[in-house]
């Protein structure tokens, strides 16, 4: 917030507390890029809160701030393994020179261009991933792992039925579940791209901490029926070239466990 007392004077050396991590740098370093949030914070126009040790407090990831500071000091670019996380921090701090550099780095392009486009190509991506995890938890009650089949179809054969579908079929006698999803948009109508979309789901699940594996299965043609919303007249859906795969969630360790 703006300082009601007007311009605030800062010392030449600034002690910082960034998310519990202590840093010390110069005022000129923090003001290096005039359009950045850090330059605005320490411009004297705003009140910056301090902790008990009189360090100026910034409520962000303190570990990642080291890369922000290295860039401000020496224009040093973060290593590839930290690029995506630092990119998010650079967006927050409004460090446009660093943002432009990281935008062209392979990790950031893979995350924000490739994987994001794949997520958009998979119908109801967020809902699909949530249902996949919910089913995995349900099956985990009776097994140390959960295997869920996913059938991903390209388009309807019946003209006029173009709504996106996300449905679950259960076979309780075999304790199996199948998620049916589609149709894919034009971006995903090639088998390699379809597989890439499913690998994107795998990547996101692993990033969230799930121990999950993935394998493709032989593609099949499918014919499926359901009743309309009045539940009296069957409505037929036909699909072709269904892409099949299986996600396996592992919940308990199966190796290296000593028996008593």
The half-sphere exposure of 27 on its side-chain side, counting CA atoms within 13 A, is: 10
pLDDT at 7: 53
Mind listing the pLDDT tens digit for each residue in 59-86? 999 999 999 999 999 999 999 999 999 9
Q: What does the block give as tokens for 165?
A: 């579908």
Using CA atoms in the order 97, 99, 105, 111, what is the torsion angle rounded to 10 degrees?
Answer: -170
User: Taking a C-beta distance cutoff of 8 angstroms, is the pair 69, 28 a contact?
Assistant: no
Q: What is the pLDDT of residue 145?
A: 80
Residues of the chain with pLDDT under 50: 1-6, 156-163, 172-173, 187-189, 223-228, 233-239, 256-260
C-alpha R_g of the chain: 26
Nearest to 101 by CA among 69, 120, 79: 79
CA separation for the pair 124, 112 (Å, rounded): 18
26, 72 Cβ separation under 8 angstroms: no
The whole-number pLDDT of residue 181 equals 75
Class of residue 258 by CB neighbours under 10 A (exposed 0-12, middle 13-18, buried 19+): exposed
Q: Tokens 């000129």 belong to which residue?
A: 28
Task: Determine the pLDDT at residue 213.
Answer: 92
For residue range 161-170, what is the model confidence (pLDDT) as tens digits? 444 556 666 5
- What is the torsional sign of CA 51, 3, 31, 85? positive
The pLDDT score that the predictor gives to residue 157 is: 43
pTM passes above 0.85: no
């Amino acid at each position: 917030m703006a300082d009601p007392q007007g311009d605030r004077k800062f010392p030449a050396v600034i002690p910082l507390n960034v998310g519990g991590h202590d840093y010390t740098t110069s005022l000129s370093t923090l003001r290096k890029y005039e359009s950045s949030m850090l330059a605005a914070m320490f411009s004297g126009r705003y009140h910056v809160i301090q902790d008990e040790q009189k360090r100026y407090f910034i409520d962000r990831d303190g570990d990642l701030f080291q890369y922000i500071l290295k860039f401000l000091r020496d224009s040093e670019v973060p290593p590839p393994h930290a690029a995506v996380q630092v990119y998010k921090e650079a967006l927050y701090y409004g460090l446009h020179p660093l943002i432009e550099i990281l935008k062209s780095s392979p990790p950031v392009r893979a995350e924000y261009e490739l994987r994001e486009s794949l997520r958009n190509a998979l119908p109801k991506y967020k809902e699909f991933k949530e249902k996949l995890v919910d089913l995995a938890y349900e099956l985990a009650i009776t097994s140390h792992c959960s295997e869920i089949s996913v059938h991903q179809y390209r388009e309807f054969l019946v003209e006029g039925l173009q709504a996106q579908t996300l449905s679950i079929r259960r076979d309780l006698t075999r304790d199996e579940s199948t998620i049916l999803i589609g149709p894919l948009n034009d971006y995903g109508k090639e088998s390699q791209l379809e597989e890439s979309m499913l690998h994107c789901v795998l990547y996101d699940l692993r990033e969230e901490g799930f121990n999950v594996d993935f394998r493709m299965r032989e593609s099949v043609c499918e014919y499926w029926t359901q009743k309309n919303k009045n539940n009296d007249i069957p409505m037929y859906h036909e699909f072709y070239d269904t892409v099949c795969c299986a996600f396996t969630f592992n919940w308990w360790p199966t190796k290296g466990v000593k028996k008593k």
